[in-house]
Structure 1
Amino acid sequence: MPSPRVAVIIEDDADIRSLISAVLQGSGFDVHTATGGIEGVEKVRAEHPVLTTLDVSMPGIDGFETARRIRAFSDTRIVMVTARADEEHARLGREAGADDYLTKPFRPRDLRARVDALLADRHDD
């Protein structure tokens, strides 16, 4: 069962990881970070987050494979955060298990709004 207000950020870029952490901590989340897909999968398994943000382009396994592995055991809400803005990547992300797709660069308020919408939607399930 996901833990309320726990988030895992899987992002290899330190600046973006720091920005997402600040946004989510400001929204009351207990934030855990990982710099790659394998580490991120293990953080999700250990922390049971209600929310996971996930970069698509990472060394090792990419965000699509990371999302598939997370979906095998977790119903955490997944927001893919990526520089790839085309529809094909958004479709691949959703097929891999992402709930939403946010392109870089993004405004912090856009991330907050999407997170709020996803978590409000969770309560409607």
Structure 2
Amino acid sequence: MTDPNITVVIEDDLDIRTLIAAVLESAGFVVHTAPNGFDGIDLVQRYDPAVTTLDVSMPGIDGFETARRIREFSSTKILMVSARVDELEQLSGRDAGADDYLTKPFRPRELRELVQKLMASS
């Protein structure tokens, strides 16, 4: 069963991963972080988070493949976070299983609002 207080942050950039985790922790979430898609998939399997934030460009497997693999076993809400602003990129993210898309750079408030919106749609 999905835990409404848990999030997983999958992001290869340490500074951005730390920022996202801090924003979500300040919003009351327990946050687990991973620097790549493989570790992120493991965390989603282990903790069954309500929301997972997912970078698109990562070493190993990219965010699209990570989302597809997560969708095989989880209903976590996936928020893609990427510096790529191309509309086709966003459509590809949704096709892979993302529920929403946030472009970098972003404001902490914007991240919190999107996560709250995803939580409300559960």
Band of TM-score, shorter chain: over 0.9
Aligned AA for 2:119?
L
Matches of 1:94 and 1:51, distance apart in 2:
15
Does residue 93 of the first structure (1) align with residue 93 of the second (2)? Answer: yes
Q: Which residue of 2 aligns with 1:24?
A: 24
Q: Which residue of 2 aligns with 1:118?
A: 118
1:47-71 C-alpha deviation (Å, 9 max, x unpaired): 1100000000000000000000000
Aligned AA for 2:44?
V
Q: Which residue of 2 aligns with 1:40?
A: 40
Q: Which residue of 1 aligns with 2:79?
A: 79
Q: Which residue of 2 aligns with 1:8?
A: 8
Moved over 4 A (4+): none
Give 5+ residue unaligned stretches, structure 2.
none
CA RMSD of superposed structures (Å): 0.4
Matches of 1:116 and 1:42, distance apart in 2:
24
Matches of 2:118 and 2:42, distance apart in 1:
23
- What is the Cα deviation at residue 4 of structure 1? 1.3
- TM-score w.r.t. the length of structure 1 is 0.97
Percentage of identical aligned residues: 62
